[in-house]
Structure 1
Amino acid sequence: MPAQLNHLIVHSSDRFASARFVTELLGAPEPTSFGPFAEVKLSNDVTVDYADDHLPEGLKIVPQHLAFLVSEDEFDEIFARIKDRELPYWGDPFHTEPQQINHRNKGRGVYVDDPDGHAIEFLTHPYIKDE
């Protein structure tokens, strides 16, 4: 039986600021406190747990990439929030397509950076793998 992803820990400089950044864009409920984490609950029972006190002294946050699969309607709502907040956004993860969305993989996608530089991707269709 394959394993299921249960949670992901993401380091941040301010756990609730980072968690709220994502929940506000998603239109999701306020993050909850769970031990030392600010927990973002997703619809598939996976949580993204933001931590701000587990970095060894002097260690910097290494940016990660988090991709959220959303419906077409949710994408429209998220993209409207990105534009309302006047956030920079890109059509690609390398920031070479500023202020654009992409139409790859039979869907749409957009990338924003969270306060710590983590790349947050919202996409409407999973990636198509070569067969």
Structure 2
Amino acid sequence: MKILLVEDHEEIWDFLSRRLRRRGFEVAVAVDGREGLDAALAGPHDIILLDMNLPSLDGWTVASMLRAEARTASVPIIALTAHAMSGDKEKALEAGCTDYHSKPVGFTRLLAQIDALTAASPP
């Protein structure tokens, strides 16, 4: 399974990419919104983990742009964000994200979200 991780903080992408690879996932990393958008469009990816606070293009914009493209419209997107205020989950879902995960990342919970979304996705 191919995961695109779009995250600008090296500690987080390093931690997540290493742990996901150990679980057997193929992981591509993009470190800003523009790079993430380009990588997603170049795809294919089975799921996208998208930080919402990114340089060049924020995650809200990237999610909206991915939903507007036929080739990425149905790819599950999990928003990764430190925004944990009331309404932030709804904002991420409205932008086009499929699910929401507040930081700090709980790896076991994130794996459960990935499993649930990829099991629900068409092959």
Q: Give the TM-score normalised by structure 1.
A: 0.28
Q: Highest Rg: 1 or 2?
A: 1
Indicate the structure with greater strand content.
1
Q: Give the TM-score normalised by structure 2.
A: 0.29
Indicate the structure with greater helix content.
2
